[in-house]
Structure 1
Amino acid sequence: MRAGTGAGVTVQRTAAPGRVAAPWLALLAAPLSFGIGGPALVLADIARDTGTTVASATWVVTAFGWGISVGTPLLAGLLARRGVRGTLATCAVLVLLGAVLVNAHPTMAVVALGTALLGLGTAGLLACAMTLAEGARTMGLISAALAALGATGPLVGSLAGSLIDWRASLTLPALGLLALPVVLRRPGPGGATVTAPFDVTGAALLMALVTALVTIPHQPLPAAVAAALAAGALAVHLRRRPDGFLPAVLVRSPAFLLAAATTLFLAIVNFGLFYAAPVLLARQTGWSPAAVGAVMLWPYLLGGGLSWVVVAVTARLHLRTVAAGLAATVVAATLVAWTVAAVPILLVAFAAGSIAAASGQGALARHAAEAVPAPYRSPALGMFTLCYLLGTAFGPAIVALVLAT
């Protein structure tokens, strides 16, 4: 059966895939979160062994954030053209190669390249898990698993670093490959096959823009110039191909831009606080990294849990009201975290930032999708997610630079 996407793309529907149990899909997708939180408490060890500073060591997080940011739309495109089996095979190669590079040679360039490949591969594993998910309960389990592993990431990463070394902390996202044998045994995990030509130029320009943006905290002037050039070239390309990789209707929608910009801001602040938390807690308490990681569990698990309530409560509110309220919350959380020394208040601030960011991802995604015509809602959600994931690259790098001054 043929069905058009409405965005200048024709899709060929294949046979429905065999059902994969929800826990296996959660295992396939959720270890991605370890790539975000796992390095939080081992940056000093990475800096020592690679002969760099802690600020430079955040390149491993920036590279992973770049990987999942560009990997989300790119591998979603691969999924549409090659189906689940082909995408899973590609992602497995990327993840394994990334893990090999992380463990190959302790130089920052090689390690960062390895985490970038891990990010690319695990972004594709997440896309495949979402595609194979059947029903709201399965989607909910995947989301809950992502949040839970994100909250436990610093503790698990610290324990892996203590028991083995910091390379084990960076390789944790590869645990998603444990689900591959079960997922691949299911009959016919195909999906949709897109017959329209892939917008190679649009994808390349967007990748160039994202790459330049995530480099700004490390190399401000040249990266800003590169970002401006890439943005200009992308704007020209949008006029020539308005229904390409980045649909022009998205950048022409004020509501979509507000939702995307707000989620980017929330993510930057939240992931910045996430990486500032161990330093701030250690300064006030002198606790070990494992103890800090254990204490960080409750504010971030609480944030993920309460976000479901906040998303439901704000469902009928106007976009501007939701955006302003969530932005004000993370700003207040940041001010409290940087000015108050009491540990209980610090933890409340971290929880507030987590609640706002997680809630924004859910509440603002709906507004982003509804801001464009129905045929463009899928790419709108993809680009919205890209904006959120960019926060994983920006936040830790900015915080490391601030703490280093």
Structure 2
Amino acid sequence: MDQLQRRRAAHRDRQLAPGRVATPWLALLAGPLSFGIAAPALLLDDLARATGGGEQAAAAGVTAFGWGIALGTPLLAALLARRGVRAALTVASALVAAGTLILVLIPSVSAMVAGAAVQGLGSAGLTVTAMKLADSARQMGVVAASLAVVGATGPLTGALIADLSSWQAALALPLLAVLAVPATRRGTTAPDAAPAPFDFFGMTILAMLVTAAVLIPHRPLVAGPATVVLLPLLVAWTKVRPDGFLPAAVARNGRFLAACALAFALGAGNFALLYAAPDLLRQHAGWAGTQSGLVLLAPYLIGGICSGFLVAASVRVPRRVAVAVLLLTGAAALLLATVTTAVPLLLAAMTLGSLAAATGQGVLALHAAGVVSGSHRAEALGLFNLAYLLSVAIGPAIAVALSHPTA
């Protein structure tokens, strides 16, 4: 009995230990980011009418949110590494609130783009903080699953809230993450590194590179060459400032870069499928609006929930086997969606795409953080998520361009 009591006391101590946050709070902190990605999926027509622009103009808000989370991830990760959890949460929460206010109060394309970008910056900070505080494969799996599950329910949730209230309320859903901030602040951790002179030039190059990469689907003749020029410039700068905004120990780690590349590929395929899904279901089944959202709930919810278990179990599987399975699953999803018009097979493709992307984000995040030194873990997670989240900006743009080539 004494031994049992000691175990229970030790368990309580671990739960209350400083720096440890309960798993549900981490899920709430990270998950609502996916509302910013998925909630507008069935609302593009409504947004186009409300803002006076076309559907591609409305999709620019999603692209702006993708740009915000892509850029905000390394920016807020650097703040997290240098100033700790409290500073990152404070800045990220303020950005999410400010962006949401802009989206809700000003019904125009320019305001929607600006508000979504600011909201994305803050959402990225909350998510990368949640991943930094996840101290086990199980917690990382829950964080990844929360992003995927919210993404799965996002189109339907956005459509229902727009029907019950307004499209502004649907775009405000990422603000829900702020509810987890008070509990997460109790999990304050010390900065990973002592504050150093900030590398403004490195940050500027990275920001320009992210912007150019996000704009490639929209302005390929300008953004493509800009990306080609900025990428080697950023690599060269890591030699000048190896401890700068982009640490050389992270940027030159081949295993880390491979994990980032695979995460980007899996994410781009999944988000392209997510935004192509309403048109595919309309063409081949005659479904639209809320009905499409209900149908899409199943494949993306299955993929999201299963990913949590798969990420937790991945520590018992050889890394090469896990990577091979992720590659095969992601490729099968795209191939199946391309060659079939049968609705059950389309839904199977979406399930595979969701499963590959959500599981890949968790598994590859653990790998990316594990191949760098502990002092660079926050920056590594930030840069890894940058690679994954770039797919959020590019995937939907590809889907819209393919389905509306002349819009």
Query: Is the 8 Å Cα contact of residues 315 and 363 (structure 1) preserved in structure 2?
Result: no
1:62 matched to which residue of 2? 63
The residue aligned with 1:165 is: 166
Q: How does 1:250-269 map to 2 (within 5 A)?
A: 250-269=250-269
Cα shift at 1:133: 5.2
The aligned length equals: 387
Question: How do 1:26-175 and structure 2 match up within 5 A?
Answer: 26-131=27-132, 138-175=139-176
CA distances 1:344-392 after superposition (whole Å, capped 9, x unpaired) = 1111010111111122223333443455566545533332221111111
Alignment match, 1:283: 283
Note the C-alpha offset of 1:107: 2.1
Residue 234 of structure 1 deviates from its aligned partner by: 1.1
**Secondary structure, counterpart of 1:296 in structure 2:** helix
Q: Counterpart of 1:271? A: 271
Q: Which amino acid aligns with 2:195?
A: T
> TM-score, normalized by length of structure 1?
0.86
Q: Which amino acid is the alignment partner of residue 246 of structure 2?
A: L
1:251-307 Cα shifts (integer Å, max 9, x gaps):
434333322212111110111001111211122222241121111112112112333
Which structure 2 residue ranges, 5 or more long, are not aligned? 1-16
Report if aligned partners of 1:270, 1:395 keep a CA contact under 8 Å in 2: yes
Question: TM-score if structure 2 supplies the norm length?
Answer: 0.86
Counterpart in the other structure of 1:339: 339
Structure 1 segment 386-405 matched on structure 2, within 5 A: 386-405=386-405
Q: Distance in 2 between matches of 1:285 and 1:239?
A: 55
Question: Conserved in 2, the CA contact under 8 Å of 1:265 and 1:327?
Answer: no
Question: Do 1:31 and 1:146's aligned partners in 2 also have CA atoms closer than 8 Å?
Answer: yes
Change (3 A) 1:402 1:73: same
Report the alpha carbon displacement of residue 397 of structure 1 after superposing the two structures with TM. Answer: 0.5
* Whole-Å separation in 2 of the counterparts to 1:150 and 1:130: 17
Aligned to 1:191: 190
Partner SS, residue 106 of structure 1: coil
Amino acid at match of 2:224: A
4+ residue runs over 6 A deviation: none
Look up the equivalent residue of 1:189 and give its one-letter code.
Answer: T
Cα distance in 1 for residues equivalent to 2:194 and 2:168: 38
Structure 1: how far apart are the matches of 2:181 and 2:370?
A: 34
**Which stretch shifts more, 92-101 or 130-139?**
130-139
Residue range with higher mean Cα deviation, 378-387 or 36-45:
378-387
User: Residues 285-324 of structure 1: matches in 2 within 5 Å?
Assistant: 285-308=285-308, 310-311=310-311, 312=313, 316-317=317-318, 319=320, 322-324=322-324
Partner of 1:248: 248
Aligned-pair CA distance for 1:138: 4.8
Q: Which runs of 5+ in 1 are unaligned?
A: 1-15
| Counterpart amino acid of residue 386 in structure 1 | L
Q: Distance in 2 between matches of 1:331 and 1:25?
A: 30
Deviation at 1:242, TM superposition (A): 1.9
Matched residue SS, 2:83: helix
2:82 corresponds to which letter in structure 1? R
Aligned to 2:11: none
Q: CA RMSD in A?
A: 2.6
CA contact (8 A) 1:275 1:399 kept: yes
Matched letter for residue 188 of structure 2 = P
How far off its partner does 1:209 sit? 0.4
Between 147-156 and 194-203, the greater mean CA deviation after superposition: 194-203
How far is 1:83 from its partner? 3.2
**Alpha-carbon distance in structure 2 between the residues aligned to 1:314 and 1:136:** 7
Distance 1:359 1:131, change over 3 A: closer
* 1:357 matched residue in structure 2: 357
The structure-2 alpha-carbon separation of the partners of 1:23 and 1:327, relative to structure 1 and needing over 3 Å to count, comes to: closer
The 10-residue stretch of structure 1 (197-206 or 208-217) with the greater mean CA deviation from structure 2: 197-206
CA contact (8 A) 1:17 1:191 kept: no
Tell me what 1:201 maps to.
201
- Supply the distance in 2 between the matched residues of 1:37 and 1:117 (Cα, whole angstroms): 17
* Residues 314 and 75 of structure 1, relative CA distance in 2, 3 Å threshold: closer
For the residues of structure 1 that align with 2:369 and 2:132, how far apart are their CA atoms? 18
Q: Name the amino acid aligned to 1:351.
A: T
Tell me if the contact between 1:314 and 1:322 (Cα under 8 Å) persists in the aligned partners.
no
- Cα distance in structure 2, aligned partners of 1:174 and 1:384: 23
SS at match of 2:380: helix
Give the CA deviation at 1:58: 1.6
Distance 2:260 2:140 in 1: 22
Change (3 A) 1:353 1:190: closer
Matched AA of 2:274: F
Distance in 2 (alpha carbons) for counterparts of 1:282 and 1:238: 48
Q: What SS is found at the alignment partner of 2:84?
A: helix
Distance 2:217 2:356 in 1: 24
Letter in 2 for 1:145: S
Amino acid at match of 1:199: D
Q: Shift in Å at residue 326 of structure 1?
A: 2.8
